[in-house]
Structure 1
Amino acid sequence: MVYKEQKFDEGGPDDFDPARPYADPVAMLEQREYIVREKLIAIEMAKVLRERVQQCYRREGVNHYQKCRQHVKNYLSSIRNVGWGKDAKPDYEV
């Protein structure tokens, strides 16, 4: 059995019109799948960054404020406006 590599489009559909989303139902569904895929990628990236913060905190102990600052900044910037809720998260300054 030969494995064939499956390639995905990096962007949304080219023929989707946001002004008239229901004009082309196939493009609308492709756009919806694209948005869901991007949200799932962002959620998984936030999980990875959260694990890095936890590991740094455990490794550094009392010096975690200075040594883990960049990990925490990356994590906080990744969780802004990520998730399935309709309410947008406020921008926190770090």
Structure 2
Amino acid sequence: MVRKKEVEFDEGPPDDFDPKNPYKDPVAMLEMREYLVREKWIQIETCKILGEKVKWCYRVEGVNHLQKCKHLVSQYLESTRGVGWGKDNRPHEFHGPKPAVAE
């Protein structure tokens, strides 16, 4: 048995959902809403997990946290962009441009 790096879900958006006429198929509309809510919760929980990793790294590394935890902080900040309820349709200026990641 081989472990995978990422979890793969077979749950995707419904194939028969029409965004131009969402009320045509109410079942597909509800499935699409459930899909969007599920994806939003996955984003939120990912941010929480990365935040806990950053806290742990800061505690362990002490005064060297600026160098040793830099990659975790950049992952955390990237994962928090546009996450939260009601931020999907906000103008880009309100949650800032995506920073260039220096490697």
Into which bin does the TM-score normalised by the smaller protein fall?
A: 0.7 to 0.9
- Could you say what the CA RMSD is over the residues aligned between the two structures, in angstroms? 1.6
| Match in the other structure for 1:18 | 19
2:73 maps to amino acid: V
Counterpart for residue 3 of structure 2: none
Alpha-carbon displacement from aligned partner over 1:31-88 (angstroms, at most 9, x marks no partner): 0000000000110010000000000011111111100000001101111111103436
Q: CA deviation at 1:92?
A: 4.4
- Aligned 1:35-46 pairs, distance under 5 A: 35-46=36-47
> Which residue matches 2:51?
50
Unaligned runs of 5+ in 2: 1-8
Q: Distance in 2 between matches of 1:69 and 1:13?
A: 39
Distance in 2, Cα, partners of 1:38 & 1:23: 23
- Match of 2:53, SS state, is helix
- TM value normalised by structure 2: 0.77
**Post-superposition offset of 1:14:** 0.4
Give the equivalent residue in structure 1 for 2:97.
Answer: 91
How many residue pairs get aligned? The number is 87
Stretches of 4+ aligned residues off by more than 6 angstroms: none
Code of the residue aligned with 1:13 in structure 2: it is P
**Aligned equivalents of 2:60, 2:10: Cα separation in 1:** 39
Structure 1 residue runs without a partner (length 5+): 1-7
Alignment partner, residue 4 of structure 2: none
